[in-house]
Chains A and B, each alone.
Chain A
Amino acid sequence: MTTEDMVKTSARSKTEDMLNEYIPILILTITAALFAAINLVLSHLLGPRKSSRSKLSVYESGMKPRGDARHRFSIKFYLIAMVFIIFDIEVVFLYPWALIFRQYVAAGPFILIEMLVFIGILVLGYIYVWKKGGLTWD
């Protein structure tokens, strides 16, 4: 066995160990879903059922319900969601950077400058959104 092969096998078993760490997560997902489903079924089986028309109608603090809730709503929510996506992607990019930062910064501040450029450009966008009133809720 050459040294290269040995490096390969050790890397192999390492990655496989990592993959095995995800098996408990799979089991947990199934357990949690079952637990939630059992709760729903339990309430369906054990609860009494004596429904009446007024019980089945919409609750609007005791007033007679008017129309339904299928209304259009403020564009502000839409704006927030879109700005959120953009910054969320920025956050995701920052994670791998933060992980290797200490290791790389020892060799010089280049990695710091790389990220300052990235954050700087997005801060420009952030200031623009702020100035345009995109972050103000009225």
Chain B
Amino acid sequence: MDWLTYLVLPLIKIAIAIGSLLLGVMMMVLAERRVSAWLQDRHGPNRVGWHGMMQPMADGLKFIFKEDLIPGHVDKPIYLLAPLVILVPALMTWAVVPFGTTDPTQVPTLFGQPFKFQLSDLNIGILYILAITSLGVYGVVLGAWASNNKYSLLGGLRAAAQMISYELSLGLSLIGVLMISGSLKFSVIVAQQTDIWDWNIFRQFPAFLVFTIASFAETNRAPFDLAEAEQELVGGYHTEYSSLKFAIFFMAEYLHMIVGSAVNVSLFLGGWHLFGIENIHWAFSILIFCAKVTLFLFFYIWVRWTLPRFRYDQLMMLGWKVLLPIALINIVGTAIILAF
């Protein structure tokens, strides 16, 4: 056992990644409010700090010092467990995503060890993502059930049925990518997309479409936000949560968005590659990756404030009767093209 390689370096990576993810969440919360304001031709929060930059800090402090209320009718152990169960998977998905170059000749060294910008390059990479994603449903169901509130239960059930429905399309859409790459490792999949025309968005466009829509649905974002449709269900599964416990649900949703974008960028949009440059400096590779993720996140916000919400039967129909067949046809089509 080499403590430096297996303990110190991973801990540094985890600290950096979780730190930047949390910073990303704060920026996203602000960006969402500012961008939505801009799209609706109003100002948005612009008073705290320069152009409202300190607004997320103010919000965070407010969350911490709000009353920690545990309603009397809840199932206390599961009520407290649910935020934990929702946050841990959200914080774990990024582990296999390369957020910068992993080329051993390009990465910097730290304590004499190569510092790859990826926590671990698992041989089951994509399956790891799917496994962690499939756990997201627990936090929602448990929170909903433990709250013992009709709004929560209905929201949680809707969310659970929606998440498992779209998980199928999510898993199926990636098969086409796998057939081309022949590997579940993210490093291999990203390395194959060096040149812009090799990006999987061009080679596997139907898969990209299905994956993007399904990942929108997995994060319970508009136009798929039926679980917390505030006009009918107040807040859905987190109606009975307050203070930091509510903030955790909120944080998990934004984490899912950021990590979902990062996965999408790695699988379909070339990861940290741009313009087919082979030996890119590591600092630029991180910048390119972050820029792509930011653009994708802007797309998330744009969609939310543009499209109206689906009706529940439409949502289920889209998942089961549209996306699933598209994903299946894409697999068969890719197989036939590769075979002949």
Contacts and interface: CB of A to CB of B under 8 A. Distances in A.
Contacts of B122: 21-22, 25
A60 B151 contact: yes
Given A20-B6, A69-B147, A103 B182 contact: yes
Interface in A79-138: 80-81, 84, 87-88, 91, 94-95, 98-103, 105, 109, 112, 115-116, 119, 123, 126, 130, 135-138
B328 A119 contact: yes
A31 B147 contact: no
Interface SS of A by simple majority? helix
B64 A47 contact: yes
Interface string A41-73: 011101111110001111111000000111101
A102 B73 CA distance: 57
A7 interface: no
Contacts of B6: 20, 23-24
A135 B13 contact: no
B4 interface: no
Interface in B124-175: 126-128, 147-153, 157, 160-161, 164-165, 167-168, 171-172, 175
Interface of B: 6-7, 10-11, 13-14, 18, 63-69, 71-73, 80, 83-84, 87-88, 91-92, 95, 119-123, 126-128, 147-153, 157, 160-161, 164-165, 167-168, 171-172, 175-176, 178-180, 182-184, 234, 239-240, 243-245, 247-248, 312-313, 316-317, 320-321, 324, 328, 331-332, 335-336, 338-340
Taking residues whose C-beta sits less than 8 angstroms from the other chain, chain A's interface range is 35 or more
B171 A27 contact: no
Contacts of A28: 10, 14, 91-92, 95, 119
A88 B164 CA distance: 9
A31 B18 contact: yes
Contacts of A44: 68
A9 interface: no
Given A27-B14, A31-B14, A58-B148, A91 B64 contact: no
25 contacts: A20-B6, A21-B122, A23-B7, A24-B10, A32-B18, A32-B87, A40-B80, A42-B244, A46-B64, A47-B64, A47-B244, A49-B69, A55-B69, A57-B73, A58-B150, A68-B73, A71-B150, A77-B160, A80-B164, A99-B178, A99-B182, A99-B183, A103-B182, A136-B313, A137-B317
